[in-house]
Structure 1
Amino acid sequence: MSLQIPQDRPWLGHYPSSINLDFEIPEKNLYSLLDSAAKKYPEHTAIIFENEKISYLQLRNMVDRLAGAWKQLGAAKGERLGLMVSNHPLYVVSYYASLKLGLMIVQINPHYTVRELLEIFNDATVTYLVTEPECLEKVSQVQDYSFKEIFITANGAGYPGLPELIERSVPLAQNCPIEARRDIAVIQYTGGTTGKKKGAMLTHYNLIANVIQSKALYGERMLTGAETILTATPLYHVYGMTSGMNLSIYIGAANLLVNKFEVEKVLKQIETYRPTLFPGVPKMYHAFAHYPDIESYDLTCFKMCTSGSAPLPIEIMKKFERLTGVTVGEGYGLSETSPTTHRNPPDGVSKIGSIGIPLRQTDCRIVDDNGEDVPERAVGELLLKGPQVMLGYWNKPEETQNALRDGWFYTGDLATMDEEGYFYIVGRKKEMILVGGFNVYPQEVEGVLYEHPAVLEAAVVGIPDKEIGETVTAYIVPKPGIAIDFDDLREHCYRHLTRYKVPKQFEVRDTLPRNSVGKLLKRILVEEATNKTKA
C-alpha cells in the first residue's frame, strides 16, 4: 500500500514514512515532558552548565520545590510570570515550575530597554517577575508598575532568591489541571522588527506538538536518552526554548547550556562534552567559520545541525559542513508557530537556500492578494495550518482576526514552492520594495551581494522615493581588511539581477542592527535613512 500524493501537496512524498503522517499529540500540561523524562532517565544528565551537571531527577525535584514555594506565596493559575533570565539552569527550573502551577510565562529579553520592558509589563499585566541581579537597576527604572513579587536568580540581592526558595520548600505533588488546547503556557512577544510588539499566545498543546513534530522529522537519527544538545541560542527566544530546551527534555537529552555565546569558550565545551545536536543561528555559524584557529578543533561529534531566524549564507554553510561532515538543515518558523514549520529533511534532499518542507501535520498554501493559490514558482504570501499555530495575539483581537482567517495563519512572508514541494522565503510582504511598479524582493538581492568576495554581511531595504516609489538601498559590512570597490560591486549586481533590482545606493557599515538572535532590524535602517532625507 502506498500513499497517493496530492498534486498540491508534493512535499508529502519526502517524509521518511509517507504512510504514517499522523501521530498522537497528548493533551497534557507541558510539565509532563519533564516528569516523563525524570521517570525514564532519573540519573541521566539533564543540564550541563559551566562544568556542573544536573540529573533529570535533580531537575524535577528543583522544579517541584520551586512550584511548592510559589504556591505557598499565592501564585495562581492564569497569572502572568515574566521570565527575564539569560541561559541558566534556573531559567529551566522557573519555566517548568510556572507550567506546573498553570501560570502563563511571559518571555522577556534581559537586554530590553526600560521602555520595551514597560510595554511588555503593561500589555501582559505581568504579576510576578523572575530576573537576574544585573537587571534589577533597569527594572527599578520602570515607573508606575508594581509586581506582587520579584524573584532573583541569586540569594542576598534584596529580593527572594530562587536558590534559597528551592532549598527550604516542600515539593508540590500535583500538577495544575489544564485544558491543553486552550490554556496558554507562554506569551512569546514578536521581535518588534515591524513596530509595536505583539504577544503570541502559545498553548501547552502548541508547544508539545512542535517538539513531537521535530522528533518525527529526525526519526531514528535522534535517539532518546542518548543525545547532547548544544543550546547557545537564548531560551527566552522561541527557537531556543523549543529546539534547545523543550526538545532536549522530550527526548531525555543532556542540554549543554551556554550562558553567552563566546566562540572560543564554546569550541572548548564542544571538545569536552561532544554535543550531537546544534540548533544554531547564522551569526553563530558565522563565528565558527571565521574563527582563526577553527581547523584545530574537532567538530565531527555533530550529527544534526539546524539554522533558523535568518538566511544562512552559502559560503558559511559549506565551510561548516566541511568542518563537521554534517549538512546544516535550514528551516523556518515564527514566534506564532512555536516556532518550527519547515525544515530541510535530514534523510532527504537538502536544497541550499530553501527552508525545506513542512513538518508533519503542517499544511501550507501560497496565495496572491486575493487569497487565491498561486502556481509553482510564483511568489505569494505563505499561509500555515497546524497544531503548533498560536491561539492568537494577547489582548489584540483585531490583529488576531487579521492573522488567523478561515483556519489559516497569514505569515506576512513572501514565498515560493518548487515542483518537489520545497519552499523558499523571498522576503517580508511589508519589506517588499516597489520600484516603478515592479516588485523587488530584498532577499534575492542580498543573496547576490553575499556572492561578492568583499561582502561579509548585507541588508537591502526600500527607501521612499517620490518618483519611483522606493529606491533599492544596500547596507554592506565588508570582510576584514578588504575595501569595497563600489563600481565592481555594482557591476557584479548587474550581471546577476534585472536592472531595476540593482541597488541605487550602497552604504558601508561596521555592523548591521540586529536583535539578540541575529535577526536583521531593517526597520532601523529605513528609519535612519528617512530621517536623513528629511534633514
Structure 2
Amino acid sequence: MTNTVDLQALAAQVAGKLTGPGGPFEMTIEPVLGAALPVFKHRHGSLLELLEASRELGDLDYLVSARTRYTFDEHYAAAGALAAALAERYGVGKGDRVGILAANAPEWVLTFWAAQRLGAIPVGYNAWWVPREIAYGLEHAAPKVVIADAKRAALAAETGTDIPVLTMETDLPALIAEFAGGNPGAEVTEDDPAVILYTSGTTGRPKGVVHTQRNMVAVADYHRFMDALATGFRGQAWNGSPAGRRYLATMPLFHIASLHNLSIPRLTTGDAVVFPTSGEFDAASLLKLVETEKVTNWAAVPTLASRILGVDISQYDLSSLTAFSLNSAPSSPALVQRLRERFPVALQGLTTSYGCTESGTAATVATPPELAADNETVGRAVVGVSVEVRDPDGKPVPDGEEGEICIRSPYVMLGYWNNEEATKAAIDENRWLRTGDYGTLRQGKLYISGRRSDLILRGGENVYPQEIENVLDEHPLVRESAVIGVPHEDLGQEVAAIVVVDDPESLSQDELRDHVAQQLAYFKVPARWLVTADPLPRNATGKVLRRDLTLGK
C-alpha cells in the first residue's frame, strides 16, 4: 500500500511540473462553448496545423500495411494531392462531409487528413453495416463523396445512392497521381466540427457523434502529455522527439480507440501505425505480425485478449512489445489475472481505461501499478477531465455510492449531428456529459457497476436492442419481441432474442435469423432465440420489464 501511495505521489509531482506555470503542458481555464474548462495553454489551433508540423518527421514510417506504406513525407504529399482532387473534381469544401466506408487501411487515415486540408468533415461509417444501415448513414450525414474499399463500395452501390463512391484500391491511387503537388488549405476555428463517428442510440437509430478541432487536438496533446509523464516518472527529461514506437491497430478506425487515440496522435509523436491485412484478425496472425513488424504497443478489446490466451505464445518473438492495454469494453478481473500469468508484457505494461465515443478519449485510466494493486478499478480521471457520480436529480453522491457517471473535459463531443434533442439530453448547460453508465468513485478511483440499462456489449461492439427489435417486428408473423444480452465466455455478451408469435411452430429460428441478417450487421444478429406464444412481461405503463426476461432452460 505504501508503495502504491508513493508512486501516486510521484506521478502527481511529475504531472504538476508538466502542467504548472511554464510547463510544456501548462493548463489554464478558458471559456469553451459557454463553460469554463481546463485546456492546454500552448496548443495548436487545428488538425491542419498538426499535419503541417508532421513534415518535420520526414522518412519515418507513419502508416504501414502489407499493401501500402507511407512515411510522414509521403503521407503529407498524398493527403495534399487527395485533398486537391476532392476539391477540384468533386467540389468538396469547408463543412462538406466526406464519407469513409472501409475496413482498416492506411487509405482510411489518409482520407481523414485530406478532408482536414479542406475544412471538410470526415464521416467514419461502420464497416460492418449492411446496405440498409449504409443507406441511413448516407442520408443522415449527406456526404459530397464517399471513399470506400472495394467490398463496401459494392454494398454502397446496392443502396442505389447517387453520391460518388471512390475505391481505395483503384480510384485513390489514380487521383493522388493525377493531382500530385496539390496542397490546399482552409481556415477553421477550434470549435468547428472535425469528424463524425456513429454510435448506436436507444431509439434504435445510430447517432452521429461530432468531435471538434479542439477535441481532436486536445486528445493528441493528451497522448503527448502521457509520454512526457512516463518519461518524467523514470527521472528523465522529455523533449518530444520520436521514440520509434510501432502501434498495432486492431480496433476499427470508425471507433475513437483506433482513430482519436491511436492513428491521429501518432502524427504528433512520430510513431508508426501498423495495420493487419484485412481478414487476418485471428490471434496467431496478429502475434506473427507483432514479431515481423516489431510492434511495441498494442491496444485490444477484451475478447481479442482472451483469444490470445488460446495460442501458444512461446512460439512468437514478442520481445519488442512493451505496452498492452484493454479498451472499448469492461474486462473481468479474471481475464486481467490470466493475461498477467500467460502474456509476458502484461506483467509490466497492462493498463485499462473507461470512456465512450462521446467522451472523445479515456475519461479514466488505470496505470500498470494501480491495476496490479486493484484489478477491479478503471482508474483515475486523466489530465483535463472531471468525473462525478450523480444521483437521478443530477447531484453528486458521496464517495462509494453508486450513481450515473458524468464527465466534463475539452475532449467531450460537440454533440450529435442533426439531433439537438439528443444533444441536450446528453450534455447540460455546463458541458457535463451524462454517460448513462453507472459506477462508484472511491478515493478518486472509478469502478463500473453497470452499463447503459439496455446496452449489449458484444466483443467490443455496442448493440442496442431497439434497433434489432424494430427489424424483428417487421416480420409479419411476429407480434412483439425483446432483445437482451446474455453472458458469453469469449465475447463478454452475445445477443439473444425473445420473439412472441401466435403459433411457435409457424416460425423457425433460422427464418428469424435470416430475416435479421438481411438488414443488420452480423454482430447484431441474435445468436440465441426463444420463440414463444407467451406475452412479454410489462409494467403498469406498458414498458417491457427487461430484467425479468430469460430464455428459459
> So what's the TM-score if we normalise by structure 2?
0.73
C-alpha distance in 2, partners of 1:17/1:220?
6
Structure 1 residue 68, shift from structure 2 partner: 1.3
1:317 partner letter: V
8 Å CA contact 2:68–2:106 kept in 1: the answer is no
1:268 has 2:279 as partner: no
C-alpha distance in 1, partners of 2:77/2:52?
10
C-alpha distance in 2, partners of 1:12/1:117?
49
From 61, 67, 77, give the equivalent of 1:61: 77
Closer, same or farther in 2 for the Cα pair 1:418/1:386, shift >3 Å?
same
Provide structure 1 residue ranges, at least 5 long, that are not aligned to the other structure: 1-9, 156-160, 433-441, 447-458, 462-470, 480-512
From 137, 145, 150, give the equivalent of 1:128: 145
1:173 has 2:165 as partner: no
| Identity within the alignment, % | 22
In the alignment, which residue of structure 1 is the partner of 2:134? 117
From 255, 277, 281, give the equivalent of 1:237: 255
Provide structure 2 residue ranges, at least 5 long, that are not aligned to the other structure: 1-7, 20-26, 28-39, 232-239, 466-481, 491-515, 537-553
Superposed CA deviations along residues 132-151 of structure 1, whole A, max 9, x for unmatched, are 111233212214x421x221
SS at match of 2:248: strand
C-alpha distance in 2, partners of 1:474/1:174?
48
C-alpha distance in 2, partners of 1:51/1:15?
45
C-alpha distance in 2, partners of 1:154/1:209?
32
RMSD of aligned Cα (Å): 3.3
C-alpha distance in 2, partners of 1:270/1:203?
33
Structure 1 residue 193, shift from structure 2 partner: 6.8
What is the total number of aligned residue pairs between the two structures? 444
Closer, same or farther in 2 for the Cα pair 1:109/1:532, shift >3 Å?
farther
2:314 partner letter: E
8 Å CA contact 2:44–2:50 kept in 1: the answer is no
Closer, same or farther in 2 for the Cα pair 1:477/1:397, shift >3 Å?
closer
Structure 1 residue 167, shift from structure 2 partner: 0.9
Superposed CA deviations along residues 473-501 of structure 1, whole A, max 9, x for unmatched, are 9834468xxxxxxxxxxxxxxxxxxxxxx
SS at match of 1:17: helix
In the alignment, which residue of structure 1 is the partner of 2:103? 86
Structure 1 residue 218, shift from structure 2 partner: 4.0
In the alignment, which residue of structure 2 is the partner of 1:228? 246
Closer, same or farther in 2 for the Cα pair 1:12/1:209, shift >3 Å?
farther
Closer, same or farther in 2 for the Cα pair 1:138/1:370, shift >3 Å?
same
C-alpha distance in 2, partners of 1:341/1:475?
27
Give the 5 Å matches for 1:43-442: 43-50=59-66, 53-73=69-89, 74-143=91-160, 145-147=161-163, 149-155=164-170, 161-181=171-191, 183-192=192-201, 195-219=204-228, 221=230, 224-225=241-242, 226-258=244-276, 259-260=278-279, 261-291=281-311, 293-322=312-341, 323=343, 324=345, 325-346=347-368, 351-407=374-430, 408-419=432-443, 421-431=444-454
Structure 1 residue 71, shift from structure 2 partner: 1.7
SS at match of 1:189: strand
8 Å CA contact 1:289–1:316 kept in 2: the answer is no
C-alpha distance in 2, partners of 1:178/1:32?
10
Superposed CA deviations along residues 357-397 of structure 1, whole A, max 9, x for unmatched, are 11101111111011111011111011111010111111111
Structure 1 residue 112, shift from structure 2 partner: 0.1
SS at match of 1:229: strand
Structure 1 residue 525, shift from structure 2 partner: 8.2
2:350 partner letter: V
8 Å CA contact 1:230–1:279 kept in 2: the answer is yes
SS at match of 1:37: helix
C-alpha distance in 2, partners of 1:264/1:43?
30
SS at match of 1:405: coil
C-alpha distance in 2, partners of 1:53/1:303?
23
SS at match of 1:389: coil
SS at match of 2:107: helix
SS at match of 1:310: coil
Structure 1 residue 346, shift from structure 2 partner: 4.7
Superposed CA deviations along residues 278-327 of structure 1, whole A, max 9, x for unmatched, are 12111221121112x22222334222222111112333323333422334
> So what's the TM-score if we normalise by structure 1?
0.76
1:44 partner letter: L
8 Å CA contact 2:46–2:190 kept in 1: the answer is yes
